[in-house]
Structure formats: structure tokens, C-alpha cells
Amino acid sequence: MAKDLENEARDRALARIRAARAQRQVDVDGWLQDILAGDRTALARAISLIESAKPEDRPTAEALIQKASAQSGKALRYGITGVPGAGKSTWIEAAGLDLISRGHKVAVLAVDPSSQRTGGSLLGDKTRMSDLAQHQNAFVRPSPSGRTLGGVAEATAEVALLCEAAGFDRILIETVGVGQSETDVRRMTDVFVLLLIPGGGDGIQGIKRGILEWADAVWVNKADGGPERLAAAESALAVYKGALSLLSAPADGAPPLFGTGSALDSGQVHTLMDQLEDRLAAAQQSGQLHERRARQWRDSTEALLAAEALRQVRSNPKFPAAWQQLQAEGHHAQILPYDAVRRLLDGLN
Ligand SMILES: Nc1nc2c(ncn2[C@@H]2O[C@H](COP(=O)(O)OP(=O)(O)OP(=O)(O)O)[C@@H](O)[C@H]2O)c(=O)[nH]1
Ligand SMILES: [Mg+2]
């Protein structure tokens, strides 16, 4: 009798768990339906979940991303980088409005690793992009705090995917071009725009070599306000072209577009957008875009694999002692690093 009661209680508990699981399942599906139907609140909530630093939020976030990925792949992604204050947000607002006038729906995301320190520059960005932010065919999302579980770039890629599922067919991603983040952004965008400013010291303004090689368009911004500024912009562009000619052929095969202009001049931005959209259409036709995405997929997977392999090695119980011993002896014994790595890995097995 007692046994029966026990069994009954257990069955009831199991049924409750199953129901809760099913409920969660329904939630994810319903949630995704809302996102697909264009519900902004549902999208914003999903993005917050992706950016959450709580491990318990991760399974739901992953379930959403997984399901949403079936609806994505059709949007085109722009990456915009440049030194702080180059005019990226201003340019994006003009470019975004231009894309909307062509019938597109535009999502703007920002990767700003510094925002953790400064408390977020995106509040500023939202004000700067006020016309775009208020447009019904646009979605402007403040940058994640940098406290997400994975990297900021990974979170941005996931957010971009959700935005695609929500029907945004042009995703513009702003990143400050002075750190690692822009290389990550390059890995997830179909076209990469570098903004420079006139008179920025050595002309390439501390922009990393990788960015120089990968820019699809280089625009010296703030070429307005008089002949002196125009001349300064032209000379900045000349320095840049000089720097680029020292490098090997562009990694993607297509030489970058060069220009000077003003992000405050919508006509000039429109002209550049014409060229970029034409390029994207041609790359789609020729299969180049497909190749680029395949390469991006491989690079991202490789980067993840490297990080995961390192994590596994470090979590091996024998690792701390072996690592310490190697550090204590390796240098004095003049063991070459690759030899040290081999010995270390052998010792862990
Ligand atoms: N004269 C002129 N001013 C511009 C132009 N583009 C941007 N600005 C101004 O430059 C300042 C910085 O512009 P933002 O668009 O915020 O620059 P940003 O690169 O997004 O800046 P961060 O996100 O802080 O790195 C603002 O005051 C803009 O109004 C331009 O083409 N010409
Ligand atoms: Mg900005």
C-alpha cells in the first residue's frame, strides 16, 4: 500500500516534469512565432536572453537560435568599422535610411567591447540614429554589455541571426576599429566598410593590417566643410592606398572601393550604397558570396574548436601540475616551446 502511494507520487512528479518540459517547448515555439510575425518585444526579449550572463538562460537561448536558424541566411550583413568618432553611427543612419528607401528592413547592431567600461555608448548611438531608430522598418539594438557568456562577437552573430528570422534583410553591425572585435565582425559580414577621417595622424590611424586587407570599401569621412578638409581627406585616402599597395592582393579577390565623402550627405551615402548593393548582387550571382560565407563558417568553427580544445586541455586534472612544472623547468632547460607543448600533451594522456 505504502509502495503504491510512493509510486503514485513519483508518477505524478514525473508527469509534472514532463508537462513543464512540454510547456517550455511550447514557449520556445510560440516565442519564435511571435518573433517571425515581427513582434519587436518578443525579439528584444530574445536578444536579452542571448546576452544574458546566466548559464540557466543558455538552453532556451540556444533552442531559440537553433529554431530561428532555419529561417535565416537570406539577409545581407554589413560590417562598419573605424576609429572612435569617425562617424560610423552617422554613416549607418544614412545608409540604413537609404536601404529602407530601397524597400529593405534594417537592423543595426553594435559591437563595442569598451561599453563595459564606459557604461555603453549606445544610448548616444540611439540618439544619434534617432531618425532610423524611430522608423518602423528599422530596429536599432544597443550593444551588449560585454558580460555575455561567450564573446561579444558570438552574441552579436546570434542576435543577427534572430534579426534575420524577424524579417530584417539588411543587418548593419558597427564596431570600433581598434581591437579584436572587428576581425570577428569581418568573419560574420558580407561586406565590410572602413571609415577613416582626414588628418588622422599616420593616415591609417592605427587600423590593423587585417582590416586593411579585408575592407570592401574605404571611405574617408568628414570630407566636408571646405576645401581644406576635402584636401585632407584626399591625402588621407592617398596614404591609405599607399599602405594597401604594400600588401598582397585583397583576400577576397575583389579590390576595395575607395572614396571620400560626408556621412551627413545622404546623396553621397546613396551613391556608395548603390555600388555596395551592386557588388553584393554580383557576388550572390557569381557564387563569391557563398564562398565567403563558407570560409567564414570554417574560420568561426576553427576558432571555436581551438578555444574548446584549449578548455579541455586546461580542465584535465593533471594539467595544473604539469603546466607548473614545465614553467619551472622549461625555460632553464631551454626546451623549445613546441617541444614543451608535445611533452605536456603526452603527459596528460
Ligand atoms: N562634419 C561632419 N561631421 C560628422 C560626419 N560624420 C559624423 N560626424 C559627426 O562626428 C561626431 C561623431 O559621429 P558618430 O557617428 O557618433 O561617430 P562614431 O564613429 O559612431 O563614434 P563612436 O561610436 O563613439 O566610435 C558626431 O558629432 C557627428 O555628427 C561627417 O561626415 N561630417
Ligand atoms: Mg557610434
The tens digit of pLDDT for each residue in 5-27 reads 777 887 887 777 666 665 555 48
Q: Residue 268 belongs to what H/E stretch?
A: helix 266-286
Q: What is the pLDDT of residue 118?
A: 44
175 lines ligand 1 (CB under 6 A): no
Instruction: State the chain's maximal CA–CA distance in angstroms.
Output: 96
Distance 126 CA to ligand 2 centre (A): 9
Is the pLDDT assigned to residue 119 strictly greater than 50?
Answer: no
Give me the mean pLDDT over the 305-313 stretch. Answer: 90
Residue 225 DSSP class: S
| C-alpha–C-alpha distance, residues 96 and 168, integer Å | 11
Give the start-end residues of each E strand in 69-203: 76-82, 106-111, 138-140, 170-176, 191-196
Q: 46 and 149 share a domain?
A: no
Give me the mean pLDDT over the 56-76 stretch. Answer: 89
Give me the mean pLDDT over the 187-191 stretch. Answer: 87
Q: What is the pLDDT of residue 261?
A: 94
Q: Are strands 257-260 and 191-196 parallel, antiparallel or unpaired?
A: unpaired
Which grid coordinates are listed for 108?
Answer: 543595426
Q: What is the pLDDT of residue 207?
A: 64
Q: What is the pLDDT of residue 53?
A: 78
Q: Which of 30-44, 195-209, 254-268, 279-293 has the lowest mean pLDDT?
A: 195-209
Q: Report whether 173 contacts 111 (CB < 8 A).
A: yes
Q: Which of 84-93, 106-115, 152-161 has the lowest mean pLDDT?
A: 106-115
State what percent of residues in the chain have pLDDT above 90. Answer: 41
Q: 228 and 312 share a domain?
A: no
| C-alpha–C-alpha distance, residues 206 and 176, integer Å | 12
Residue 186 DSSP class: H
Q: Is residue 200 part of a domain?
A: yes
Q: 46 and 92 share a domain?
A: no
Is the pLDDT assigned to residue 29 strictly greater than 60?
Answer: yes
Q: What is the pLDDT of residue 120?
A: 42
Q: Residue 10 belongs to what H/E stretch?
A: helix 2-36
Q: For the chain, what is the mean pLDDT? A: 83
Is the pLDDT assigned to residue 216 strictly greater than 70?
Answer: yes
Q: Which of 17-26, 165-174, 228-237 has the lowest mean pLDDT?
A: 17-26
Q: What is the pLDDT of residue 246?
A: 67
Buried-exposed string 147-186: b where 16+ CB fall within 10 A, e elsewhere: ebeebbbbbbbbbbbbbbbbbbbbbbbbbbbbeebbbbbb
Is the pLDDT assigned to residue 218 strictly greater than 80?
Answer: yes
- Ligand 1, atom 25, lies closest to the CA of 84
Q: Is residue 143 part of a domain?
A: yes
Q: What is the pLDDT of residue 117?
A: 39
pTM for this structure? 0.82
Distance 293 CA to ligand 1 centre (A): 30
Q: Which of 12-16, 64-68, 95-99 has the lowest mean pLDDT?
A: 12-16
β-pair partners for 193: 80, 217
In one-letter notation, the amino acid at residue 328 is: A
Q: How many CB atoms lie within 10 A of CB 82?
A: 28
| C-alpha–C-alpha distance, residues 11 and 8, integer Å | 5
221 lines ligand 1 (CB under 6 A): yes
Which grid coordinates are listed for 264?
Answer: 551627413
Q: Which of 10-24, 115-129, 278-292 has the lowest mean pLDDT?
A: 115-129
85 lines ligand 1 (CB under 6 A): yes
What domain range is 333 assigned to? 302-348
When pLDDT is cut at 50, 70 and 90, the band that residue 317 belongs to is very high
Supply the CATH number for residue 48's domain.
Answer: 1.20.5.170
Q: Is residue 295 part of a domain?
A: no
Decide which of 1 and 294 is more confident.
Answer: 294
| C-alpha–C-alpha distance, residues 163 and 330, integer Å | 50
Q: What is the pLDDT of residue 103?
A: 97
Q: What is the pLDDT of residue 23?
A: 52
Supply the CATH number for residue 266's domain.
Answer: 3.40.50.300
Distance 87 CA to ligand 1 centre (A): 3
Q: 214 and 199 share a domain?
A: yes
Q: Is residue 256 part of a domain?
A: yes
Q: Which of 16-20, 128-132, 169-173 has the lowest mean pLDDT?
A: 16-20
Q: 268 and 310 share a domain?
A: no
What are the CA-CA distances from residue 305 to residues 189, 214, 294 (Å)?
21, 23, 16
Rounded to 10 degrees, what is the CA torsion of 97, 133, 71, 65?
140
**Residues 6+ positions from 20 with CB-CB distance below 8 Å:** none
Q: 27 and 161 share a domain?
A: no
